[in-house]
Amino acid sequence: MKSKNLMLMIMLISIAFLFTACDSPEFTSAKMYVQQKQMDKAEEFFLKAMKTSPTNPEIPFRLARDVYGPAKDYKNVHKYFNESLKRGKLFKADIEKLNEYYWSMAFNEGVKYYNLLVKKEYDNKETAIDNSITCFQTAQLFKPNNSKAYLQEATIVFSFQENHEKAIEILNNALEIVPNDIDLLTKKGLFLNNIGKTDESLVIFENIIEKDPENLQIGQSYAEILFKQEKYLESVNIYKKLINTHPDKKNLYFNLALSYIRLDNLEGAKTQFENVLAFDPNDKETILAVGDTYLNLKDYITAEIYYRQLIDMEPTNPKYLKRLANALNGQQKYEEGMKYFRQAKALE
């Protein structure tokens, strides 16, 4: 029995020796320097080990993870992860997890600088811009098929550097990597519209809405651009489709009503404003719009009802008092109308 145990122990030691012997002296030294936190020496010996063991995937993996990762040298992390994968798939699962981790680190750092820019809480604007862009470009290395970092980089270049052509170029390059990405296309459409290339913008939104007709954010952006371009009938059609799929969104009815007004369809506008009030009977903006619609329809009695409702909420609002005066004058109640008009003037 003792001889069997002795043989087993010898075999285990031999196996352990064989595995250890597989590591080159350079690789063994590199790992030792990592344990001793002598990262300069660890880097030196990892690089030497890569030359003496050109097929071992663990060496570039450990160099990336143990040396460049803690130093936040993300370009070299990415470079040597790729080198490890070229040598084999042994560490593929580990690399995928670490890519997610490093993407999050870089992206969140970029968002931190972006928020400083938005809030104007930076010491140096250009430095904050450069740091943010660098972080988002680093994030792109680790997850090239994720559009978020491209969107953030393009937004910074467009809004804070005001380099509109460069921002659109960033989106175009991203679309080559992530073709037909809805978020990238939407951002490109908005950018083009903002710089006056509305026709190109509308083509993009038309294509997007065909692929994703129920997308509320995209549909609203498309309809708003149509409205601003005085394409009111087209905006009406988009809002109607959105209401069919999102009947609980109050602002869709309101915007549809505004489009109807531009088409001189005041009856249609009145109906949609009343739909809005069904959501919130105390919505002053909508009550005013409904009153104005009835006033334009020369239904002065109904207009008066809505204006009085507003005055009940804000008795000293001169705008509401003037509107009531107009509704009363329309009914030939000139004396009473003048009374409210004088009150409005006194409050202004």
DSSP 4-41: HHHHHHHHHHHHHHHHHHHS-HHHHHHHHHHHTT-HHH
The tens digit of pLDDT for each residue in 316-341 reads: 999 999 999 999 999 999 999 999 99
Domain count, the chain: 1
Residue 40 lies in a domain: no
Residue 298 lies in a domain: yes
Residue 191 lies in a domain: no
The tens digit of pLDDT for each residue in 12-21 reads: 334 333 344 4
Residue 304 lies in a domain: yes
Residue 5 lies in a domain: no
Instruction: Give me the DSSP letters along 118-131.
Output: HHT--S-HHHHHHH
Residue 342 lies in a domain: yes
| N residues, the chain | 348
The tens digit of pLDDT for each residue in 160-216 reads: 999 999 999 999 999 999 998 999 999 999 999 999 999 999 999 999 998 888 899
Where residue 316 sits, what CATH number does that domain have? 1.25.40.10
Residue 307 lies in a domain: yes
Q: Which domain holds residue 304?
A: 281-348
Is the pLDDT at 22 greater than 90? The verdict is: no
Rounded to whole angstroms, how far apart are CA atoms 210 and 222? 12
The tens digit of pLDDT for each residue in 64-74 reads: 999 999 999 99
Residue 331 lies in a domain: yes
Per-residue pLDDT at 3: 52
Show the tokens assigned to 161. 């550097």
What percent of the chain lies above the pLDDT cut of 90?
85
